[in-house]
Amino acid sequence: MALNRDADASRLAAESLAEDDPTGWFERLYAEAASGDAIVPWDRDQPNPILVEWAARRELNGVGRALVIGCGYGQDAEFVARLGYATTAFDISPTAIGEVRQRFPESLVTYVVADLLDPPPVWQGAFDLVVEAITVQSMPVSVRDIAIANIRRAVAPGGQLIVISGFRPEGAEVSGPPWPLTPSEIDSFGADGLRAAAIELDPQTQRWQAEFRRTER
């Protein structure tokens, strides 16, 4: 029988949403995974290949500060740090942050516990590169506008944002997590001074790759 990697996330998300707690299931999932009772479906041994390909095409110089949203076990954050950025990465789950520090004890990344729905005010406009890979799609639609707005606000003048997500047609109902992003949700990252530089949808993988830039300095 094929392993359903999303089963534990779906179970815990349903319980959390029933308690009107849209993000509490993340810590529950990581805590159960730490005790061997659950699988974190996005746990991988390598950084997101879409992020790697995007960075290679852009020939990023690694100058400045970077923020990795919902870092989980840290593969994307470690990749961004290897590009040369002074990297901060956060997750709402203390268990996840504890685990990532153990996995990468010599890391140059600053790993912190933080909530995307209420991020530290000092992060506003502070990062030259912001990486959002599949975090927003793991959050229910009820909190999505807040999450997207807080991601936008973290981009510094002259900075850029990369968004990676699954695709969902406008108006389509899905039983998440995940709840992939619609075209209008992807477009909504381009506000508050951010403008879309490139928005691509891979028809085979049904994955978004979108880049936004803040042009004012």
pLDDT of 38-63, one tens digit each?
Answer: 899 888 899 999 999 999 998 787 88
Q: In the chain, pLDDT over 70 holds for what percent of residues?
A: 97
> For the segment 116-162, what is each residue's pLDDT rounded down to a tens digit?
999 999 999 999 999 999 999 999 999 999 999 999 999 999 999 99
200 closest CA partner among 189, 191, 211? 211
Task: Express each pLDDT in 104-116 by its tens digit.
Answer: 999 999 999 999 9
At a CB cut-off of 8 Å and minimum separation 6, what does 183 contact? 170
Q: Is 3's pLDDT higher than 80?
A: no
Rounded to whole angstroms, the Cα distance separating 96 from 107 reads 15
User: Which residue spans within the chain are E strands per DSSP?
Assistant: 65-68, 86-91, 110-113, 127-133, 155-166, 194-202, 207-214
Mean pLDDT of the chain: 93
pLDDT at 83: 95
Question: Nearest 5°: CA angle at 152, between 83 and 126?
Answer: 55
- Give φ, ψ of 84 to 5 degrees: 115, -5
For residue 176, name the pLDDT band (cuts at 50, 70, 90). confident
Half-sphere exposure of 68 (CA within 13 A, CB side): 27
Q: Which amino acid would we find at residue 135?
A: T
What would the pLDDT profile of 143-155 be if each residue is shown by its tens digit? 999 999 999 999 9
Q: How far is it between the farthest Cα atoms of the chain? A: 55
